[in-house]
Amino acid sequence: DAKTTQPTSMDCAEGRAANLPCNHSTISGNEYVYWYRQIHSQGPQYIIHGLKNNETNEMASLIITEDRKSSTLILPHATLRDTAVYYCIVRVVNQFYFGTGTSLTVIP
């Protein structure tokens, strides 16, 4: 049901770029890709979303492949506060299927 596949966990050194991959090979032409993160005991936090073009905001960059079957979330300079579970989501109508996400640990 999740429609996306992500690695279970990743580590990243503090100050380095964190690149989180996501596969969504069954995505339809009008479905957006969304990224959220969840820090323990808090609600999911919206990061970024895109359709086919690369997107950048103050938090991150989103790179979507030309065939739209995969994407990468980039946190350019990871800090300890970026340690969280990151969810890649393909929206189906109004439903977000969160899947299990990637647990990112930023190491000092």
Partner 1 sequence: DAGVIQSPRHEVTEMGQEVTLRCKPISGHNSLFWYRQTMMRGLELLIYFNNNVPIDDSGMPEDRFSAKMPNASFSTLKIQPSEPRDSAVYFCASSPSGSYQPQHFGDGTRLSIL
* CB-nearer residue toward partner 1: 95 or 108: 95
Query: Which of 51, 65, 76, 107 is close enough to bind partner 1 by CB under 8 A?
Result: 51
Query: Which of 72, 99, 103, 105 is close enough to bind partner 1 by CB under 8 A?
Result: 99
# of chain residues touching partner 1 (CB under 8 A): 19
Under 8 Å between Cβ of 14 and 107 = yes
Alpha carbon distances (Å) from 84 to 4, 27, 70, 91: 18, 25, 21, 21
Distance CA(16)–CA(78), nearest Å, equals: 6
**Which stretch, 5-13, 36-44, 52-60, 71-79, contacts partner 1 (CB under 8 A)?**
36-44
